[in-house]
Structure 1
Amino acid sequence: MAPTVPTVTLNNGVRIPQLGFGVFQVPDAETTTAVTAALDAGYRSIDTAAIYGNETGVGNALADSDLSRDELFVTTKLWNADQGYDATLKAFDASLAKLGLDHIDLYLIHWPTPARDLYRDSWKAIEKLVADGRVRTAGVSNFQPDHLRRLLDGASLVPAVNQIELHPGLQQAELRTLHTELGIATEAWSPLAQGAMLQEKALTDIAGRHDKSPAQAVLRWHVQLGNIVIPKSVTPARIQQNIDVFDFTLSDDDMTAIAELDRGLRTGPDPDTLN
């Protein structure tokens, strides 16, 4: 029996599954099989992006599923080259067509690209998509505190989500605190640091005490922090293992030990310099 995944209620009342399935770096030809395996394992939230080149594969898996549309939560993202008001609307139409859907549950600006200085224009376009009922929830990804504050100056919607690189090696305390103040949910990409920290003794010890894998221990840490988390895999056994994190609880000592692993370790680009 598939586990029941808890939901997080966003600032507009929409609920998102706290644990979803990411498809970053999954080739389009493999995406349909991977997403189908995830849906079979109990995932109901699927996270893709225009730049991943696999929205069509995601859409095919959703179309082949017996699940109703209202059981699914689909996220995609606006790529950097498509920022700007009109370009955003055009890019959204392209993503929607590839996914084969009539609306997106969560649409994110993928990166702030501050040197382009177009993310506020893109946000106005996304606000229109929300008003038109084509996007249920609007959010951003990889926004730093300064980017968030500038976006909010003149905005009519507060982003519901900021999807950021977040794992034991990069815990983003300042940003998570700001999210709480602003009513923005924190969503973690690269939640396992691409495996870079799974051999840490603190994690292997915690995993051993709970008869779980280090990856499961880290995903459980995210859940207990309140993060939304989107692990990725193309291996059916790993896909299943990553969702099996709701039958144990980390102790306060476990959480403290993981907190001590923070070291500013980025596995992806710096949002202040990527353009």
Structure 2
Amino acid sequence: MTLEERFTLANAVEIPKLGLGTWRMTEAETARVVRQAIETGYRHIDTAQAYGNERGVGEGLRAGGVSRDRIFVTTKLVAECKSFAEARDRIDGSLRALGMDHIDLMLIHSPQPWAEFREGEHYFEGNLEAWRALEDAYRAGKLRAIGVSNFERADLDNLLDNGSVAPMVNQVLAHVGNTPFDLIDYARSKGMLVEAYSPVAHGAVLNSRSLGALAAKYGVSIARLCIRYCLQLGLLPLPKTTDPAHLRDNAALDFVISDADMATLKGAANDTDYGEASAFPVFGKKRRIADAHQEG
């Protein structure tokens, strides 16, 4: 079963190959969904300070009745945090919110504050400040692994060249029709595992006729096809759902996409309409931070 399989990070920490994303879930909803996910067999939960639901994740995990050492929890520093002192305090804040004495993986959520996402400024100095706080927490045993999200090559090089611990993970937007192959290859060449958030494009691909036809060939849902696509690329997918039936369906991945069909999926056109989700920074448009949480 995929839920029982693991990747191994550069520091030998094992991480479940499939995780549950929790973007745009309320705290109460998160507690319910995380508990149901744990009962279904999920052992990897992904959250972030920007989601505002870390407490819900902690509550759901405790209600799930599985020992802490069998669960892998990822959270992320808010994208606007670009100083050592603030990052240090926010790491401790996440530990308190989650109700845990350690976090398995913590990431810098974005190289830029969301209001300036991909506008040219890389915030090299600020990212190094935040990274040094993560390094300190890692050495202190508060964090078992550290990494980044939405980092491009220049942002990765900044940490690789100037930090003392190399990032172990880069979490990026990746799905059929939008797979950053060059960035994935570069991160891997530096020893990083690449995680795929929004592997189903926040649901935007679920009405695709071509994907529907291909999914039918394998007797699976479009969501399962897209999640399996990421796994076969060696990525760690983080699908999000609040539906118990979809929790089970998304984890039923014991089929293999043929090489020919993988080639078709890799070459799919990037014409995804993200709908409502396109208002969020990770999809290119921007809104005031007060108006929205960020994905990824």
TM-score range, shorter chain: over 0.9
3-state SS, counterpart of residue 265 of structure 2: helix
3-state SS, counterpart of residue 107 of structure 2: strand
The yes-or-no answer on 1:110 pairing with 2:90 is no
Structure 1: distance between partners of 2:258 and 2:283: 33
The yes-or-no answer on 1:34 pairing with 2:53 is no
Cα deviation 1:146-176 (Å, max 9, x = unaligned): 1111121221111110001111121001101
Structure 2: distance between partners of 1:54 and 1:150: 30
3-state SS, counterpart of residue 135 of structure 1: coil
Q: 1:272 to 1:183 in 2, by over 3 A?
A: farther
Q: 1:129 to 1:239 in 2, by over 3 A?
A: same
- Letter of the aligned partner of 2:219 in structure 1? D
- Letter of the aligned partner of 1:251 in structure 2? S
CA contact (8 A) 1:21 1:43 kept: yes
The yes-or-no answer on 1:153 pairing with 2:152 is no
The yes-or-no answer on 1:256 pairing with 2:263 is yes
Please state how far the C-alpha of 1:239 moved relative to its aligned partner.
Answer: 1.2
Structure 1: distance between partners of 2:131 and 2:77: 10
Where does residue 56 of structure 2 map in the other structure?
57
Please state how far the C-alpha of 1:7 moved relative to its aligned partner.
Answer: 0.8
Aligned positions of 1:109-128 closer than 5 A: 109-113=108-112, 114=121, 116-117=123-124, 118-128=126-136
3-state SS, counterpart of residue 223 of structure 1: helix
Q: 1:270 to 1:24 in 2, by over 3 A?
A: closer
- Letter of the aligned partner of 1:257 in structure 2? T
Query: Alignment partner for residue 137 of structure 2, among 119, 129, 134?
Result: 129
- Letter of the aligned partner of 1:24 in structure 2? W
Structure 1: distance between partners of 2:285 and 2:212: 34
Structure 2: distance between partners of 1:131 and 1:101: 17
Please state how far the C-alpha of 1:115 moved relative to its aligned partner.
Answer: 5.4
The yes-or-no answer on 1:25 pairing with 2:57 is no
Please state how far the C-alpha of 1:252 moved relative to its aligned partner.
Answer: 0.6
Where does residue 71 of structure 1 map in the other structure?
70
CA contact (8 A) 1:142 1:271 kept: no
- Letter of the aligned partner of 1:249 in structure 2? V
Please state how far the C-alpha of 1:262 moved relative to its aligned partner.
Answer: 4.2
What is the percentage of aligned positions where both structures have the same residue? Answer: 38
- Letter of the aligned partner of 1:105 in structure 2? D
CA contact (8 A) 2:138 2:144 kept: yes
- Letter of the aligned partner of 1:51 in structure 2? A
CA contact (8 A) 1:202 1:257 kept: no
Please state how far the C-alpha of 1:202 moved relative to its aligned partner.
Answer: 3.1
Where does residue 99 of structure 2 map in the other structure?
100
CA contact (8 A) 1:188 1:230 kept: yes
Structure 2: distance between partners of 1:108 and 1:143: 10
The yes-or-no answer on 1:176 pairing with 2:184 is yes
Where does residue 115 of structure 2 map in the other structure?
none
Q: Which runs of 5+ in 2 are unaligned?
A: 113-120, 290-296
TM-score by length of 2: 0.87
3-state SS, counterpart of residue 4 of structure 2: coil
Structure 2: distance between partners of 1:116 and 1:224: 33
Please state how far the C-alpha of 1:264 moved relative to its aligned partner.
Answer: 7.3
- Letter of the aligned partner of 2:24 in structure 1? Q
CA RMSD of aligned residues (A): 2.0
Structure 1: distance between partners of 2:282 and 2:240: 21
Q: Which runs of 5+ in 1 are unaligned?
A: none
Structure 2: distance between partners of 1:258 and 1:128: 41
- Letter of the aligned partner of 1:263 in structure 2? N
Where does residue 166 of structure 1 map in the other structure?
174
Q: 1:29 to 1:77 in 2, by over 3 A?
A: same
Deviates most, 130-139 or 259-268: 259-268
CA contact (8 A) 1:3 1:42 kept: no
CA contact (8 A) 2:36 2:64 kept: no
CA contact (8 A) 1:44 1:72 kept: yes
Structure 1: distance between partners of 2:159 and 2:128: 6
Query: Alignment partner for residue 216 of structure 1, among 224, 247, 261?
Result: 224
